[in-house]
Amino acid sequence: MKKNVVLFSTLASFLLLFSCKEDKLVEVVEVPLPTKEEKISIGSPNDVKADPGSFEMTKLPFNYDGLAPDIRTLTLETHYSKHYLSYTNNFNKEIVSTEFENMPIEDILKKMDLNNAKLRQNAGGYYNHTLYFNILTPKEQTPKDTLAGSINKEFGSFNNLTNQFKAKSEKQFGSGWVWLVVDRYGKLQITTTENQDNPLMRNALIPGTPIMGIDLWEHAYYLDYQNRKGSYINAFYQHINWEKVNEYYVEALKKVKKV
């Protein structure tokens, strides 16, 4: 069933200006004023299907309004049914009749040539968005079980992890991702990547297996928060599925033989 929502349409693009102040880059976003109202039809995530290929989209376990008002219906619909769908279809096209066609996504990310810009962008975009949508939930949670104990041990408390993760996200310049990863020694670390890169790739500053990640591309929050990225970060943090993150954590520990 489709729903109608009201959107203030804006200009097709916005301008990012970069300046130098005290040797630090400053990001400035010019927000265009609304021009008119229009009605847009919102469908169901169950109606979204990628083209036939090696990889499928993960199923969104709630409707597009499931995270509202923190992440609004139109924002989630645009993110899931357009950006994520596009990465999935483009990724599948890039690996047809290649050595990667039947390879697990984690292995593709580790082995691919980073000079192959199309594969790098779309493979990363597919993996990153799959994890992102898998760790969202309508109800606020806190870590439990194995993960909770490790967070307290390695960060001192959940609040310390939260503050460090949010601070790293705020400082991330431009688009990219901030991750909670399990490194090669089985330790939890916070790290960042640019564009659609992730810590599984050869160029990672801190190599590791992601168990949580926040998307800082404009399509994840711009319709809701515009240049108020910090408000989006706070909203995202209220909808992390820590049960799922714990599952990812246990699986990551198995890979480094820590459980």
| HSE toward the beta carbon, residue 211, CA cutoff 13 A | 27
By the 8 A CB rule, do 213 and 196 touch? no
- Report the DSSP beta bridge partners of residue 169: none
**Residue among 246, 238, 193 at smallest CA distance from 216:** 193
Would you say the C-alpha torsion 250, 169, 132, 237 has a positive or negative sign? positive
Report the chain's terminal Cα–Cα distance, integer Å: 45
Residue with tokens 């300046």: 19
Residue with tokens 């499928």: 56
Determine whether domain 3-134 maps to CATH 1.10.1660.10: no
Instruction: Specify burial of residue 195 (Cβ count, 10 A radius: 0-12, 13-18, 19+).
Output: middle
What are the boundaries of each domain within the chain?
3-134, 145-255
Distance CA 198, CA 188 (A): 15
Which pLDDT does position 242 carry in this prediction?
Answer: 98
Distance CA 251, CA 115 (A): 30
Which pLDDT does position 78 carry in this prediction?
Answer: 92
Contacts of 233 (CB under 8 A, 6+ apart): 166, 169, 170, 214
By the 8 A CB rule, do 190 and 168 touch? yes
259 residues of the chain, pLDDT tens digit each: 444 444 433 333 333 333 334 444 444 444 444 444 445 678 899 999 999 999 999 999 899 999 999 999 999 999 999 999 999 999 999 999 999 999 999 999 999 999 999 999 999 999 999 999 999 999 999 999 999 999 999 999 999 999 999 999 999 888 899 999 999 999 999 999 999 999 999 999 999 999 999 999 888 888 888 888 899 999 999 999 999 999 999 999 998 876 5
Residue 215 DSSP symbol: E
Query: Which CATH class for the 145-255 domain?
Result: alpha beta
Position 83: which residue type? Answer: H
Residue 65 backbone zone (phi > 0: left; psi -120 to 50: alpha; other: beta): alpha
